[in-house]
Amino acid sequence: MGFLDRVKEQAATATAAAKDAAQKGQAKLDTIQAKRAADALLRDLGAAHYAQHTGRATAETAAEVTRLVEALGRHEQEHGPIDLKLDSAESTASDGPPSPRPSPPPSGQSV
């Protein structure tokens, strides 16, 4: 094998490794962006729910809750299940066991 053949082979190997690294990096970026999108939807849903329970809801709040639940369902269909564990320290320091969470509605049904 000549010198130029070895150089070409090494270049091809390096190119393949670079493409693989780029694909892995893009996949990680896509995962992070999907998590941020889900977090934003969950935050908005929590804010709307809080507004309903504190008497600060507007006429549009109920429709907004429905829209957000549907958007979360679409997000899960595209990206897989959302991690629903509670992160805040206040939520883990409650006096009793956590209350059961209702299952999400089947696809195509609104709340």
Nearest CA to 71 among 34, 28, 102? 34
Angle, helices 61-79/3-53, rounded to nearest 10 degrees: 150
CA dist., res. 72 & res. 61, Å (int): 16
CA dist., res. 101 & res. 81, Å (int): 15
Domain ranges of the chain: 21-78
pTM above 0.75, yes or no: no
Place of tokens 């320290």: 89
pLDDT in tens, the chain (111 residues): 688 899 999 999 999 999 999 999 999 999 999 999 999 999 999 999 999 999 999 999 999 999 999 999 999 999 999 999 988 866 555 555 555 555 555 555 444
